[in-house]
Structure 1
Amino acid sequence: MVGKYIQESKIINNQFDTNFINLSTSKTLNDIGQNGKGKIGSLLYLLNKVIKSVSSNKFDLCYMTLSTNGLGFYKDFLIVILLKLYRVKIIYHFHNKGFFEKQNKFFNHILYKITFRKTMSILISKYLYYDIQKYVNNNDVFYCHNGIPKIDLSLPILKNDIEVKPFSILFLSNMMIEKGVFVLLEACNILKSRKVSFECNFVGAWSDITKEIFDEYVSELDLNQYVFAHGKKYDEEKLQFFNEADVFVFPTFYHNETFGLVLLEAMQHSLPVISCSEGGIPDVVQDGNTGFLVPKKDSLALAEKIEVLINNPKLIKEMGQAGKMRYSELFTLEKFENNLCDIIKQAIEK
């Protein structure tokens, strides 16, 4: 999504003469991480395209989104070698993480040293520097928060002003274990045991948690009257859930979590956010100001923070307003585009 924002950015394209090459060898999301003869052919085609481009143009800089692990990294490593052979100045932009976990393996360590030698890097948060610290001097690192477009909040929202609804909790992400789905369900069970009035809406595509698994666990916890799963929603339907929510909860411990763009969406809607200190999320959520950060996989701590908000409507409003202000100041798409332009200019001159 961020890559698409960059490619289509008028701000960026008006300041630089760019040549875009799609590095993906996957045609669909289901192809990602899969092997196959078709991918080998796509890789050879891609390498040939890179060679033609760098041999016929004098580029001031190559901006590259580098994969951090798996086959994606080894594919990108081949492209990095080509760029280095043609002496192209490189700056990497990371939207994922994974070097730290594998840097102690000798083979990976050698490849990482080659990859990062005489290059620069862009990270979306200072909390992610640890991932490349072994290979990149801090002087060669730039920081650029992600941003998202402003949403038209004037879209018609269907509200029932007569019915008094219970406190509404919203989770919006892929239905994955590591996104904290079961942690939130367990927190809901704790709230139920404390006789708290609430509803919790799960919105997102089914993933390693299927609808059958989810429904079975909800029934096991006797949460059928409290918890509702709606599948993936788009546009006005998605906005409707944000507008009807009182708090946004995202208890992620996803191994590749770096920023959580969905948190910015919640902040746009003036929602307090409860999440975890995974990746760069502490740069997004100010604990105690725009929401709360709770320990990962701690359903009790999560339930307690939700209950704090349930019992304090004034705090909900204050945190929601602080979150919206923080989004407007730091996380708009325009802010991101201008920051990235400044970084590219500095990298070219460095």
Structure 2
Amino acid sequence: MKPKILFIMHMPPPVHGASMVGQYIHDSELINASFDCHYVNLAVATRLDEIGKGGWNKVKGVLKKLMEVRNAVKTVKPDLVYITPNSAGAPFYKDFITVMMLKMMGQKIVMHFHNKGVATRQNRWLDNWLYRRYFKGVKLILLAEALYEDVKRYVKREDVFVCPNAIPEISMAKENMASKIVSASNVSNDNRVPHILWLTNIMKTKGIMEYLSALKILNDKGVKFQADFVGGLTKELAGDEFDDALSMTGLNGCCTYYGPKYGEEKSVFFRKSDIFVLPSYTEAFPVSILEAMVFGLPIVASNVGGVSAEVEDGVNGYLLGGNQSVMLNTFRPNPREIAEKIETLLTDSTLRQRMGEAGREKFEKEFTLEVFEKRMAEILKICV
């Protein structure tokens, strides 16, 4: 008899990192062949803009989901419950109820964290009290070793497993790498203006203002580049405010905003880009960096959360802020450091090629779906 596992996890819609990983697990031939798998979709929201919002309908949805989980446990009688809860804030309080209900029902639990934030709230007396009960007696899966700092007050290291996220191979990515290698060796391409790609929502907490300041430094020095912005506008920075910021910094001629893109439309921007940037204040394990690695782009990113597991400083990109990963939401990227790292890459096509190839190799070794499924299956076997 194969061990029974009840997977309580987010699956699309909406589409985000945790829900896509949930879909990969659900569709994994290896995991479904190794275990007797049963699934409950933990998602209450159906659109990204619904995440984090309250209201009576959301409360009813949460209560309905609790009953669904309770009934699934009674029906399946699993040997292990796998759950992808939140780590902080209002979503944590919601998931705390689910986890405690599972414990009261005598379930063996492994929690898979796709976010962080415990360390930012552990000094609040209520959160501290809840965390001590939340983490007691469970196993924990993290996306990167560096993220253990976020939970080490509550979880022993021997109860923690590391399983980085993964993404499927992207169509034409290898062909794109090969064409870039040819272009880099072709002298006639030396006059081509390199493209820098921003691919995330336009938010202050993603470091957008510091990034614009860095681009102004480069523009004032006469460094040639084209900066492409792909991502949704948010309440943090509306369209008019973003346009005003470009005008004030004199970047209108070398910066273009394209809005959010998905699927093949998004791949087009990766294919035409030369450098990928993500100067965020906080991250856990951004999938966008993995996508950039697939297309052989050198990375310039803040050393926050688990980013250092994706980017090796000086190997496949540069880490902003030094070698110590930042757990708390206090990191602010330095525009001059951003500009310095980008200029180094803009002015050296050979370095861009070498770092891009290193990133692609790292992806194939560590972040493919095949590697992810094997790691996850091994972890689940140990937890059962």
Opposite residue 197 of structure 2, the aligned amino acid is L
Residue 328 of structure 1: which of 342, 347, 364 is its match?
A: 364
Instruction: Provide the secondary structure at the position in 1 that maps to 2:222.
Output: coil
- Aligned runs of 1:1-350 on 2, under 5 Å? 1-153=20-172, 164-207=191-234, 208-254=236-282, 257-295=283-321, 296-348=332-384
Instruction: Provide the secondary structure at the position in 2 that maps to 1:230.
Output: strand
Identity of aligned residues (%): 38
State how far apart, in whole Å, the 1-side matches of 2:267 and 2:72 are.
42
Report deviation, 1:10.
Answer: 2.3
- Using the TM superposition, name which of 113-122 and 99-108 deviates more: 99-108
- Using the TM superposition, name which of 50-59 and 302-311 deviates more: 50-59
State how far apart, in whole Å, the 2-side matches of 1:117 and 1:36 are.
31
Report deviation, 1:200.
Answer: 0.5
- Using the TM superposition, name which of 187-196 and 240-249 deviates more: 240-249
Q: Look up the match of 2:12.
A: none
Deviation sequence 1:44-100 (CA, Å, 0-9, x none): 212222222222332110001111122211111111121111111000000001111
Report deviation, 1:305.
Answer: 0.9
Opposite residue 360 of structure 2, the aligned amino acid is K
Q: Is the 8 A contact 2:300 2:320 kept in 1?
A: yes
Opposite residue 331 of structure 1, the aligned amino acid is F
State how far apart, in whole Å, the 2-side matches of 1:246 and 1:217 are.
24
- Using the TM superposition, name which of 188-197 and 150-159 deviates more: 150-159
Relative distance call for 1:204 and 1:124 in structure 2 (3 A) is same
Opposite residue 187 of structure 1, the aligned amino acid is A
TM-score normalized with structure 1 length = 0.94
State how far apart, in whole Å, the 2-side matches of 1:236 and 1:324 are.
19
Q: Look up the match of 2:7.
A: none
Opposite residue 247 of structure 2, the aligned amino acid is S
Q: Is the 8 A contact 1:33 1:70 kept in 2?
A: no
Report deviation, 1:150.
Answer: 0.5
Deviation sequence 1:95-145 (CA, Å, 0-9, x none): 001111111122211211111111100001111101111111000000011
Report deviation, 1:312.
Answer: 1.5
Relative distance call for 1:260 and 1:237 in structure 2 (3 A) is same
Relative distance call for 1:57 and 1:237 in structure 2 (3 A) is closer
- Paired residues, number: 346
Instruction: Provide the secondary structure at the position in 2 that maps to 1:21.
Output: strand
Q: Is the 8 A contact 1:271 1:320 kept in 2?
A: yes
Aligned Cα RMSD in Å? 2.0
Instruction: Provide the secondary structure at the position in 1 that maps to 2:39.
Output: coil
State how far apart, in whole Å, the 1-side matches of 2:267 and 2:51 are.
29
Q: Which runs of 5+ in 1 are unaligned?
A: none
Instruction: Provide the secondary structure at the position in 1 that maps to 2:36.
Output: coil
Relative distance call for 1:272 and 1:298 in structure 2 (3 A) is same
Relative distance call for 1:237 and 1:290 in structure 2 (3 A) is same
Relative distance call for 1:21 and 1:188 in structure 2 (3 A) is same
Q: Look up the match of 2:13.
A: none
State how far apart, in whole Å, the 1-side matches of 2:271 and 2:312 are.
22
Opposite residue 229 of structure 2, the aligned amino acid is F
Report deviation, 1:302.
Answer: 0.7
Instruction: Provide the secondary structure at the position in 2 that maps to 1:343.
Output: helix
- Using the TM superposition, name which of 157-166 and 234-243 deviates more: 157-166
Deviation sequence 1:123-173 (CA, Å, 0-9, x none): 011111011111110000000111110011169989999995312111111
